[in-house]
Amino acid sequence: MGRLTFLKFVNDQLWKVDPVEQLDLTGKTVVVVGANVGLGFEAAKHFASMNPNRLVLGCRSQDKGQAAVQAIQATGFTNVELALVDLSQFASVSAFADTFIRDGSQIDILLYNAGVALHQYAPTKDGWEETIQVNHLSATLLTVLLLPCLLKAASSGTSPNPRVVIVSSDVHYWAKLSKEEFESDKVLSKLSDKEYCTSQIMADRYNLSKLLNVFFVRELTKKLPANSPVIVTAVNPGYCKSQLGRNLSFTMRIISVIFGALLARTTEQGSRQLVWAAVGGAGREFELRGAYVSKADLQEVSDYVLSDEGASPNTYMGAS
């Protein structure tokens, strides 16, 4: 069954990371959202080495995004461009998607890597709790909006199975909806209620957002036609050194640094899992639909996801 004990977590972290998967991406378009630092940037560099026709870096900051573009261009790959997107604003996500739709662009690989880990309630301009919007709702919105571009890649013949990869985490094994959340009429609205989002609730918010990613990948796969060429997967990069903990308290940052020094993978090592989910598993395309990828293979999701409650339409659909 899908359980993650602390001992298994440590064992997984000590697993020898396989070399990065390679695939000729000539003629293909790759979009990496959250690409200016960390896992997304390292994954983008790997994609650049595979010679895509177009590599688009989706970033919030013009300066940081342009620096990432220049760093990739310095490797000798020039078909890289920057597209700005603020994932805490649905209007920005829609505008980002519109640039591809208006141009009639095809997308062969969409990698949604962006994420935040907040431990205090912070609302977005759209009125949602920020972790929920950035980590989950914007991933959902962007994926749905860009489905026509992914389908175009399939119909044009550049990719028989275009892929959407959403970065989740093995912390989803440690998350579940509370009784109060599950029984609410609208789950996500409950999770964005300022009065409800106490410090105790927010302490588990990142884990829960990664659980919602898994729910979304599985639910979207169910909703797509059985013969749909689009493959949607969730991936676990493992615990990696990154800037994700920049919003932690001072004490938690110290603990994170010590713990990271002992067990954390480098961001480059973690990015190899993202790349495997995007281009690996040849011959296993059917199995990859709605799958959870970790350690360069398909893994079982948490017991909670497989439970009657986890499979309930209210768990995901009631949130919308």
Q: In this predicted model, what pLDDT tens digit does every residue of 206-256 receive, in sequence order?
A: 999 999 999 999 999 999 999 999 999 999 998 877 665 555 555 555 555
Whether 270 is covered by a domain: the verdict is yes
In the predicted model, residues of the chain with pLDDT beneath 70 are 1-2, 13, 242-262, 313-320
pLDDT at 227: 92
Structure tokens belonging to residue 77: 């790959």
pLDDT at 256: 59
Q: Which among 88, 159, 169, 184 is annotated as catalytic?
A: 169
Domain membership of residue 109 as a residue range: 6-16+23-319
pLDDT at 250: 54
Three state DSSP letters for 247-283: HCCHHHHHHHHHHHHHHCECHHHHHHHHHHHHHCCCC
Helix (H) or strand (E) holding 303: helix 303-306
Q: Which among 206, 239, 304, 316 is annotated as catalytic?
A: 206
Question: For this structure, is 169 an active site residue?
Answer: yes
Q: Which among 210, 239, 271, 302 is annotated as catalytic?
A: 210
- For the whole model, what pTM was predicted? 0.92
pLDDT at 319: 41
The rounded distance, in Å, linking the Cα atoms of 282 and 218 is 20
Whether 1 is covered by a domain: the verdict is no
The torsion angles phi and psi of 130, rounded to 5 degrees, stand at -60, -40
Whether 176 is covered by a domain: the verdict is yes
Number of domains in the chain: 1
Number of CB atoms found within 10 A of residue 306's CB = 14
Whether 295 is covered by a domain: the verdict is yes
Nearest Cα to 81, choosing from 154, 30, 138?
30
pLDDT at 317: 46
Q: What CATH number is associated with residue 38?
A: 3.40.50.720
CB of 110 closer than 8 Å to CB of 139: no
Question: For this structure, is 210 an active site residue?
Answer: yes
Three state DSSP letters for 149-190: HHHHHHHHCCCCCCEEEEECCHHHHHCCCCHHHHCCCCHHHH
pLDDT at 39: 95
Question: For this structure, is 302 an active site residue?
Answer: no
pLDDT at 235: 98
CB of 215 closer than 8 Å to CB of 244: no
Whether 182 is covered by a domain: the verdict is yes
Whether 218 is covered by a domain: the verdict is yes
pLDDT at 320: 42
